[in-house]
Structure 1
Amino acid sequence: MQCSTSPRLQRSYPPVFRVKPVAAACGLLMLASVAVEAQQTAQQASQLDTVVVTGIRRSIESSVTAKRNSDSIIEVISSEDIGKLPDASIAESLARLPGLTGQRGPDGRVDRISIRGLSPEFSGVLLNGREMVSSGDSRAVEYDQFPSELVGSAIVYKTPDAALVGQGLSGTVDIRTLRPLSVTGRQVVLNARGERNSNGNLVSGVTSPTGMRVSASYVDQFANKTIGVALGFARLDAPSQVKLTELVEYSDFTPFGLPLSGNKPSLKPMADGNTGQAMLPMFWTATTSTKKNLRDGLMAVLEYKPNDDLHSMVDLYYSKFNTHEVGGKFAQSLFGNWSAGIAPALSNVGTTQIGNNTYATSATTSQLVANVGNMDTRRTDDIVAVGWNTEMKLADKWRGVADLSYSRDKRNERYAEAYGGPYDNANKQWTYGAYNWNVPATGGAQTFTPVQPGYLSNPANMAFGDVQGMDWVGNDAWIGAIRSPAVKDEIKSLRLSVKRELDGFFSSFSTGLNVTHRSKDVERNEDRILMKKDAQGNFIRTIPTSVVGTPFDMSWAGIPQLLRVDVPALVASGAVTLEQGQFHKWAGNVSSVDETVTTGFGKLDIDTDIAGVGLRGNLGLQIVHAKQSSEGWAYLGRNEDFPDPSLLRKLQGGTSYTDVLPSLNLVADFKNNWLARFGLATAIVRPGINEMRAGISTPEVVQDQAGTPNAGNWTVAYAGNPALKPWRAVGIDLSVEKYFGKRSYVSAAAFRKNLLSYIQNAQTEVDNSGVPPQSNIPPGVTPKKFGPLVTPTNGSGGKVEGLEFAAALEGGLLHPSLDGFGAVVSASKLSSSILEQLPDQLAKSIPLNGLSGRSNSLTFYYENHGLSARVSQRYRAPFTATTRDIYFNSTTLQYAADKVMDLQLGYAFESGTFKGLSLLLQVGNVLDKPTLNYKNVGANAPDGTQLTPNLIRYFGRTTLVGMNYKF
């Protein structure tokens, strides 16, 4: 039986290789000189050689067998599947399963998984049956923390099982390491791979342009095969190369006289009554970055089974993830500096008409203000998980299980940024230049090219400063900031259970108790980087030559060279000073959350025949009692003043609740390879950690004059809610499956989840009488006692439903000449009646987080005589998702449809001197598809609901060549 399992404000700092994939693939197929793992023998899927790269067909057989024999509706990934695609983690493989979709993170790799249209927050993630910690301020696990080389298999439960603790509302992913006593004999596997990215090395000196992955695994049995040992180590050193453009804002200033070249577009009435000519890209940025990703993973398993009456296993998982990212950023603004009488002049304007909106897509612009930014980010994640599980015979037909586990994640991050721009030292003012720009309104390549060469790279013509007013405090000494978020997540769990074999309709009965305690601390700290002053009281804007590096090459964005500054070296040089950041910006998001969850469960297993139809499954019940509490902060000082720690006030809150969760899983076996499955269950998922925080932000009095309707009103304050109750839903599932042979099947499934309760953002009131108003409120204005407060609250109603289709088909079933060929396909169609509101946009409803209306995956493969080939494509329709920005705040974005193709070719030596050796070629993101975020063009457009490109990230194509040796 498997088992589940005070905020602090102190500071916590912690030559180009090019491969043409098609040409390389053809050459390798002809020479048979690259490959994947040797064709797997008919051993169990838990053998060590399945941990790295093994036979495609055997992996499919293992997954199909597990799916067929399960009493629940599940999907299975065996380690052979993972090794047969260019996967950086298990998430890449999970994203190919029916009903599951992957979200590519800022590095281009899938790090988050949505199950059945619900965001990652709604799914449970277990390691060997025990709840797993996470590195963010939520419950969602980042899957790239799990090296694929150390994973034996993963099971996705789509219907609840009463004996499974730590389940999610949308589903549960149980990641499993291997069991050494299930392996036959000693197994040693060595693996080495090198990789290159088609984006090249965008930023020099950060990491080697050649990445590598190495791993070593060892399994053996001792004492007459009663003791088993498994050890595994995996190192990932893979650089990320990202090209990012952001179109922050469109606005229409053409009523004031925009010169348009060629034929003028048809004039459209604006929302403000003016007649506009074109929407202008008023604020646009381009960022180039290189990131060093270094991850060391360790797995160890000690298994003891002297006889059938006793079985004990201790497993350890450890991962250390270090990243270092350096980036350069160019930002332009068409707003100019109107207070100084400087407004951009445009010529040669090209436009594009989309519906009722006209967009300026290219032009030459003079008097353009520019900002140059430099970023340096360092992050460390330290994760450990250990568990001890013992099963023993208590009496005739009675068995007992005890499980003790602990997991912990420590994350420290340090984000440093500094800004400046072109500067006229003689006249002590910013310089405004001319640019040729091309910004398509439908996405694609975007460029802003300075007319004057070297304009943005010569430090003699540049200076530090807040060129575009990015610092909200309003102190022009500001040139940047250092932000240092830190997270500590800890889970302790104890589980005791017994099982009794029965005769009759019910084959067995099990019951048990699980107690889990989780504590999570989230810290945020910020220091402002300020310029020093000279003897005359003037800011020292000069950039020290000692901190200037080789310019960034941003030719892909139209900028040949961009000034590069080493921000940590700048801070260490003493040329600037540090000042504690304003508490109102982040103190309300510092929190500590504690929860103790006690789960009692009982389950009756069903195994019988009715009228010649086999019937199996289970009937279960969980009783879950949760006690939760949180501590947070409120800052009762003025935002304009220097931060005063004595004005911080600790806030506390919490609640407790009990849920009764029945579940039923039935499988009808019609004895002719037809199966029908039915599931009915009540499920919950506890509130997000960040939603449960006790902190609250600091509001200000609005600047409206006395006598106007809003005079004396407060801006909106934002807070968590320690008394939040969970999401609750009743789920109904139906699946029909037909199996052909060992590796082929077709299935169709339908599901519906009726929500009994959910969590939404809503507005209420808060007493602001203890918050001092700022000094510059208009004369005669008296602040009101109460102000608006947006906080997460519980609601009720809504549904999520969908259809899923999956098939695995062998070519040999159609004709013997097709032996070795095959295909695996899946498709899902989902819908939901639930709409969410963003905390700062309550009037705007967005689709349920993580929901893609359609998704599909298609894989074709060939494997025979040691030669293997595989091509896979996954697709998901547009969706919304919440991520973290550079301020460590939640930001919800609208994603365009995402389609990614991967390729793998290989050859395994099955006999002779090189037996056990396999060679491989893997190509990830073959078509170099970017991720694309959209946003509404804005209320002042003729059609303000029209979506326009916001963020476009190009990650490049990754080509990997490697070898694997098993002995």
Structure 2
Amino acid sequence: MPTKPHFNHSKLGLLSLLIAGSATTMAQTANNDTAQSSQGAAIEEVVITGYRGSLLNSTAAKRDSVGFSDEVFSDDIGKMPSQNLAESLSRIPGVNINREVTGEGQQISVRGLGPSFTKVVLNGNSMSVASMGDMNQNGSDGRQVSLDIFPPELFKSLSVNKTATAQQIEGGVSGYVNMKTLRPSDLGEGHTFNVGVDGVYKEATSSTSPKGALTYSFSNDTFGVLTSVVAQSNDHGIDGYEVIGNVLQGVCLGEPGTNACADGSGDGLRYSNIATPDYAAAHPGVNVGDVIDISGEQATYDAMQLPYIGRMVSTNGKKDSISALVSLEYTPNDDITAALDFLTADTANEYTRDEISHFYRRNYVYQPIPSDIVLDSKNQVVSGTFYGTSPWIGSQDYDEETSFTSIMPSVDWQISDDFSMAASASFTDSEFSRYNPYGLMFGANTTLEYANDGIVPSVNYGSTNDYANYTTHDGEDRIRASHTERETSTTGFHVDFAYGEDAERNGFKFGIHHDQMESTRQTFLPVFSMEYDGNADGSVTMAEYLEGSGATAELTNNIQNYIRTVNFGSNIDGWGGVQSFGATDWSAMKDLIGFDQWQEEQQNLTNIEEEVTALYLEFNTETEIGGRLLRTNSGVRAVKTDQFVEDQTGATSESYDRVLPSFSAVYDLTDDIKLRTSASRSLTRANPSDMFPGAQWDGSGIDVVRVGNPGLAPFESTNLDIGGEWYFSDMGYVGLTYYTKDITGFTYQDTILENLDNLGQYGVDLSELTPTQLEAESICTPNCTVQVITRVNSREASTLKGFELIWVQPLDFLVEGLGFNASANKIEDDSPEGAEITGVSDSYNLTGYYENDVFQARVTLYHQEGAVAFNSWGQDVETRDRSQVDVSASYRLPVMQDNDLTLTFDAYNVNNEPLSTRFVGDGVEEDSQSYNVYYPGATYTMGVRASF
């Protein structure tokens, strides 16, 4: 595949030149203004705001901490220093972003462990979000929290604690993230009104979407109220490539007139030796229907190893969101402060995912003629031509809604000079709904040209726009439909006491925390009137309904009326393959099949409930050793967990107790050098989706079944951190940390090969196989081998260890307002074979910035090394290295200066860096054999902000 065209780098260069030129101009203007005003003005206090103000606050918080923690603050124009909460945390060493296929940050991972190992809390209280992860449903059933539902404008700060304290809610082996919402007192006394309006341009869709944010706050010595609303409409369009496995299970010559192999085998891919019209047109002297002599090439054809369901994918749609925050503060006297925080967030995501598969799971109906096949040393197809192929074109229409609501009252009471109490209650509820019907068509017979010559293979068809000759499958796969509902809720009550005039430094704390969590997931399938029971067996299949309602006949005769054109490849760098294809027109199709009138019945139900009670005791000391200050934090947290897990096959319950000690210390070696150490025990409870007792098929076939393990133990980790920082200014410092984690109870995927007939012992009811599964069974019987996959606890400890580096460097000695900040994480997995931790990768980021009174700009590079992510069909899949460049700038206009009228500009992923994974192993080249690749394109935002 050709290298990326130069214009991407030109765009980045142009942006940098524009910002650099503007910075020079603004700097000269600001310096001139400063020089002029200084002649007749008194010396005033310099207040650092904007991005530098955010860095200054972060440095101060880091310097004052005892353990290993970092904090990101919103800047003075009411927004985080990135487009969403997840990306705001990426500048912290050891924090990696898990991105949606649109390129937006969605979840975070800390120190090499996945998002489920990070405990995310809201104002110090438990929370959960009932999302399904990204558009491919990755990261959907664990304990991870999707942060893209929350706009950054509603938050004051995000803190990341990498070492545990006794007071923190347990649950994060890798880290603890506290999201603090804005309160009236954060915006100062009096009335404050902030407004921001943005236009968001997506390069992939060539469209602009609006975003608006309004915040009003009033605060005085007694009372405060804050209300904030953020609304956004966001178009997205992503082109990409996917496979399910690197090779098919086998290839054979098809038996003419049947869907069987000529050699009697059950291989998945059949090819033909009967000339088709396109083959005859390309080979003079050959007529349609002639038997082609393939004797010289048959050994090559039979050895072909092809991608398992290789497909080009295009996802397009719109995501609308609205979020609101209401915060009340009441301070009746100097000893009592009460607050009530109410947060709500709602998103509606409507998109269509279209895929054109050049190689299928099985191709019993349309058998191509291979030609000019080139194989590598592993018999994987490097290039080839396939005549008489009909691409498998699938389309899914997604209609998703996600909601989140939290109510959190709290009160702080200074009972006496030395004794205080803080009490808080919390309730969160989140709901998710997804409807996603699937339509399958086959394109008209044509010629496929395939070459695995880059991270996205070259795929070309002779024609894809002959819609009148498209066809549909005769069985259940013509239309499928599913509906998923998920709800999560948390309730909690925390009472914390502190003794000591300044208990954070000298004193002790104790308290009791009680939290409950419940997560329910249901799936539904359509049911139809018995009038469509064509074979009188007491049930109505999808095929019977479509036949009886007349939909099948209409699709057979007028299929072109139910097809729309999907444009493809415009945002894939260097793409020269298929430019468009036809896929299901869901507006017309839903009208034809009466989709909106369908009735449903529940198919699956899973539920997990957890009740957690914790008691803790924590001591803080401050003393001098050798004339230098030593601060310590030590404590112990005793926690009891009661779990109840159920699905439609049964229910189980578990209870366990754990004692989690912790210790941290910081020593002032000099006035500017701090040395730190921490040791602790932490836990993360097992993934709920791995614990349900029943079995579920993985896909529409009979290849894989997943079985839960209700007896999974929690992950437990012994943690050690050693490090320190050198602070050479109020803002600037360099920090280095070494850390290690020994994790027990880690799980790995265990696979057992079983005959289909033996699956009853796992709870599989073979009498409930779908027509598609029955068809697969009829072909492989009596030797149908099924992979039974479950999770089991590793008997040995898995070990992570690494170094983190952070450097914040003002360059005011060169140019006032210039500087950079950088961070890096070097990590390795030292685990026993078979229990390796996936997703462990090095990362670094670098931000250069310039800022004065009227102008600020920054350019950020995020880089994350590739890492093994999972295993597919016996072969490891690894994320590729990824580097993304973002640009941000703002200019305070010389009008309405009392209102800080400011123009803003942001550019994300200006280098159009794809999100991609690849197969690893012998014979797999670095830039080929992709598992999936998505090109989200660049996003540009222009806006205006003001305060009144």
Tell me how far 1:457 sits from its aligned partner: 3.0
The 8 Å contact of residues 12 and 911 in structure 2, kept in 1 or not, is answered as no
CA contact (8 A) 1:633 1:696 kept: no
Q: Which residue number in structure 1 is paired with residue 937 of structure 2?
A: 956
In structure 1, distance between residues paired with 2:836 and 2:794: 18
Contact 1:283 1:331 in 2 (8 A): yes
Amino acid corresponding to residue 606 of structure 2 in structure 1: S
Structure 2 portions without partners, runs of 5+: 1-9, 31-47, 131-139, 254-270, 274-278, 280-297, 527-540, 753-757
- Show the counterpart of 2:217: 219
The residue aligned with 1:966 is 947
1:855 is aligned to 2:855: no
For 1:384, the equivalent position in structure 2 comes to 405
1:768 partner letter? Q
Distance between the aligned counterparts of 2:622 and 2:513, measured in 1? 26
1:463 aligned to 463, 466, 471, which one? Answer: 471
CA contact (8 A) 1:599 1:622 kept: yes
Q: What do the CA deviations read for 1:698-727 (whole angstroms, capped 9, x no partner)?
A: 799x99xxxxxxxxxxx9753323333211
CA drift of 1:25 comes to 5.8
| d(CA) in 2 for partners of 1:345, 1:874 | 44
Fraction of identical pairs, as percent? 20
Find the counterpart in structure 1 of residue 645 from structure 2.
Answer: 630
User: What is the aligned length?
Assistant: 833
Report which structure shows greater RCO (CA 8 Å, sep ≥6).
1
Which stretch shows the higher mean deviation, 745-754 or 758-767? Answer: 758-767
Whether the 8 Å contact between 1:550 and 1:564 is mirrored in structure 2 is yes
**SS, match of residue 694 in structure 1:** coil
Show CA shifts across 1:877-919 (max 9, x none). Answer: 1124479x9xxxxx99531122111011221237765751111
Alignment of 1:415-814 (within 5 A): 415-422=436-443, 431-440=444-453, 442-444=454-456, 446-452=457-463, 456-465=464-473, 476-501=475-500, 507-527=506-526, 529-530=542-543, 532-533=546-547, 541-542=555-556, 548=562, 550-554=564-568, 556=570, 558-567=577-586, 569-574=588-593, 587=604, 590-634=605-649, 651-697=650-696, 718-762=706-750, 768=761, 790-793=790-793, 795-812=795-812
Q: Distance in 1 between matches of 2:552 and 2:186?
A: 74
Q: Greater share of helix residues, 1 or 2? A: 2
In structure 2, C-alpha distance between the alignment counterparts of 1:74 and 1:337, rounded to whole Å: 55
- CA deviations on 1:100-145 (whole Å, 9 max, x unpaired) are 1111112211111110111111110011111111224221000101
Query: Within 2, Cα distance between the matches of 1:303 and 1:496?
Result: 19
In the TM superposition, residue 291 of structure 1 has moved relative to its aligned partner by 2.2
1:932 aligned partner: 916
Following the alignment from structure 2 to structure 1, what is the Cα–Cα distance between the partners of residues 504 and 512? 25
CA contact (8 A) 2:368 2:386 kept: no
User: Alignment partner for residue 887 of structure 2, among 903, 911, 924?
Assistant: 903
| Structure 2: distance between partners of 1:699 and 1:147 | 35
Q: Which amino acid aligns with 1:805?
A: L
Deviation at 1:614, TM superposition (A): 0.3
Give how far 1:221 is off.
Answer: 1.1
1:100/1:393 Cα in 2 relative to 1: closer, same or farther (>3 Å)? same
User: Following the alignment from structure 1 to structure 2, what is the Cα–Cα distance between the partners of residues 544 and 250?
Assistant: 36
Query: Among 316, 320, 324, which residue is 2:350 paired with?
Result: 324
Residue 89 of structure 2 aligns with which residue? 94
Q: Deviations over 1:550-573 (max 9, x none)?
A: 511225463343224333542342
Q: What TM-score comes out, normalization by structure 2 length? A: 0.80
Aligned to 2:276: none
Contact 2:664 2:676 in 1 (8 A): yes
Query: Distance between the aligned counterparts of 2:427 and 2:730, measured in 1?
Result: 38
**C-alpha separation in 2, matches of 1:151 and 1:521:** 29
Which residue among 229, 253, 276 is the counterpart of 1:233?
Answer: 229
C-alpha contact (below 8 Å) 2:238/2:314 kept by paired residues: yes
What is the Cα deviation at residue 63 of structure 1? 0.4
Quote the offset at 1:393 in angstroms: 2.5
Helix, strand or coil: the match of 2:61?
helix
Match for residue 63 of structure 1 among 58, 62, 82:
58
Residue 144 of structure 1, aligned match among 148, 163, 173: 148
Q: Is the 8 A contact 1:800 1:833 kept in 2?
A: yes
2:86 alignment partner, SS class:
helix
Q: Structure 1 residues 761, 582: CA separation in 2 closer, same or farther (over 3 Å shift)?
A: farther
Amino acid of the residue matched to residue 331 of structure 1?
S
Confirm or deny: 8 A CA contact 1:621 1:661 kept in the other structure: yes
- In 2 relative to 1, CA 86–542 (structure 1 residues): closer, same or farther, beyond 3 Å? farther
Amino acid at match of 2:232: L
1:147 is displaced (CA, Å) by 0.4
Q: Which amino acid in the other structure matches residue 912 of structure 2?
A: D
Q: TM-score, normalised by structure 1?
A: 0.78
Check conservation: 1:437, 1:448, Cα contact below 8 A: yes
Residue 418 to residue 846, structure 1, CA distance change in 2 (3 Å) = farther
Change (3 A) 1:757 1:289: closer
Deviation at 1:294, TM superposition (A): 1.0
CA distance in structure 2 between the aligned counterparts of 1:152 and 1:217, rounded to whole angstroms: 13
Summarize the Cα distance change of 1:129–1:942 in structure 2 as closer, same or farther, 3 Å threshold.
closer
In 2, are the aligned partners of 1:667 and 1:676 still within 8 Å (CA)? yes
In the TM superposition, 1:62-461 aligns within 5 A as 62-80=57-75, 87-135=82-130, 136-185=140-189, 186-201=191-206, 209-222=207-220, 225-248=221-244, 249-250=246-247, 280-281=306-307, 283-333=309-359, 342-347=367-372, 356-357=377-378, 360-422=381-443, 431-440=444-453, 442-444=454-456, 446-452=457-463, 456-461=464-469
**Alpha carbons of structure 1 residues 536 and 375: separation in structure 2 relative to 1, 3 Å:** closer
Following the alignment from structure 1 to structure 2, what is the Cα–Cα distance between the partners of residues 901 and 538? 50
In structure 2, the CA distance between the partners of 1:54 and 1:388, relative to structure 1 (3 Å rule), is same
Distance 1:114 1:334, change over 3 A: closer
Partner Cα separation in structure 1 for residue 362 and residue 504 of structure 2? 79
Task: Name the residue aligned to 2:815.
Answer: 818
Q: What are the superposed Cα offsets for residues 638-697 of structure 1, whole Å, 9 maximum, x if unpaired?
A: xxxxxxxxxxxxx01011011001111111112421001110111111111212323333
Amino acid of the structure 2 residue aligned with 1:55: G
Give the corresponding residue for 2:290: none
Q: Distance between the aligned counterparts of 2:656 and 2:461, measured in 1?
A: 61
Contact 1:245 1:953 in 2 (8 A): yes
Tell me how far apart the structure 1 counterparts of residues 914 and 778 of structure 2 sit (CA, whole Å). 48
Distance across 1 between alignment mates of 2:484 and 2:310 = 27
Q: Is the 8 A contact 2:79 2:152 kept in 1?
A: no
Relative distance call for 1:555 and 1:110 in structure 2 (3 A) is closer
Separation (CA, whole Å) in 2 of partners of 1:401 and 1:943 = 58
Deviation sequence 1:814-871 (CA, Å, 0-9, x none) = x3x32211110111111123369xxxxxxxx47413311x111111111124222200
- Please state how far the C-alpha of 1:602 moved relative to its aligned partner: 0.7
Secondary structure (helix, strand or coil) at the match of 1:573 reads helix
The CA deviation string for residues 436-458 of structure 1, in whole angstroms up to 9 with x for no partner, is 34432x414x4433224xxx334
